[in-house]
Amino acid sequence: MNEKFIFAGFGGQGVMLMGQLITYAGMFEDLEVSWLPSYGPEMRGGTANCSVIVSDKAVASPVISFDATTAVVMNLPSMDKFEQEVEKGGKLFVNSSLIERKSEREDIDVYYINANEVANELGNAKAANMVMLGAILEVTKVVTPESVLKALAKIFGTAKAHLIPLNEEALKRGAELVK
């Protein structure tokens, strides 16, 4: 296994967290992992993205360059930027709540997930990233949802522990969308 994920969206959509959760979960499952964020002067209010590698071999380069196995785009500028970075036969997860256009790629599998709408139905718009993550885990099987929840508990700590059931539900709803 050598999965290369790009997560992209605008600041506040939780794209960095999505990447970190898969990275943590991979570590819990004794896989080799790396998480590399984009950083720059344009971050505030602008686009954010991170590259995550989950592999059964030591991660050589943490950089993903037009060879992503999976790209996750949460808004239109991210779709425009990263749609072409998915390698042939790879996967693209599109947040169809915010992105109206369809992918131009015919050589990859595209999944349209109305993440914001489902999150709103759950009563918390912020959970859109977890709905998306649920779909990603169901399709890619890169790590188990149990490991992701373990990672979430670690990141949330006791202060935000009460949010875990909501996030768990969001993961399930996301998975159901692609079953």
Partner 1 sequence: MAKVLMKGNEAIGAAAINAGCRYFFGYPITPQNELPEYMSRELPKVGGVFVQAESEVAAINMVYGAAGSGVRVMTSSSSPGIALKQEGISYIAGAELPAVIVNIVRGGPGLGSIQPSQSDYNQSTRGGGDGDYHLLVYAPANIQEMVDLLQEAFDKADFYRNPVMVMGDGMIGQMMEPVEFKERPEVDLPPKDWAATGTEGKRKPNVINSLFLKPEELEDHNIRLTEKYDAMKKNEQQWETYNMEKPEIICVAYGTTARIVKSAIDTLKAEGIEIGLIRPILVWPFPEKAFVELPETAKMFLSVEMSMGQMIDDIKIVNQGRLPVEFYGRSGGMIPSPDGVVQKIRALLGGAK
- Nearest CB to partner 1, comparing residues 23 and 114: 23
The single residue among 24, 82, 93, 111 that binds partner 1, judged by CB under 8 A, is 24
State the nearest-atom distance from the C-beta of 121 to partner 1, in Å. 32
State the nearest-atom distance from the C-beta of 32 to partner 1, in Å. 8
Does position 66 interact with partner 1 (CB under 8 A)? The reply is yes
Does position 39 interact with partner 1 (CB under 8 A)? The reply is yes
State the nearest-atom distance from the C-beta of 31 to partner 1, in Å. 10
Q: Please, are residues 75 and 12 in contact by the beta-carbon 8 Å criterion?
A: no
- Nearest CB to partner 1, comparing residues 33 and 94: 33
Could you say which DSSP state residue 62 is in?
-
CA-nearest of 50, 138, 158 to 148 is 138
- Nearest CB to partner 1, comparing residues 11 and 178: 11
Extended strands (E) in the chain: 2-10, 32-37, 47-55, 68-73, 86-95, 109-113
The single residue among 7, 35, 82, 93 that binds partner 1, judged by CB under 8 A, is 35
Q: At what angle do helices 128-140 and 145-156 cross, to 10 degrees?
A: 150
Does position 59 interact with partner 1 (CB under 8 A)? The reply is yes
Question: How many angstroms separate the first and last alpha carbons of the chain?
Answer: 22
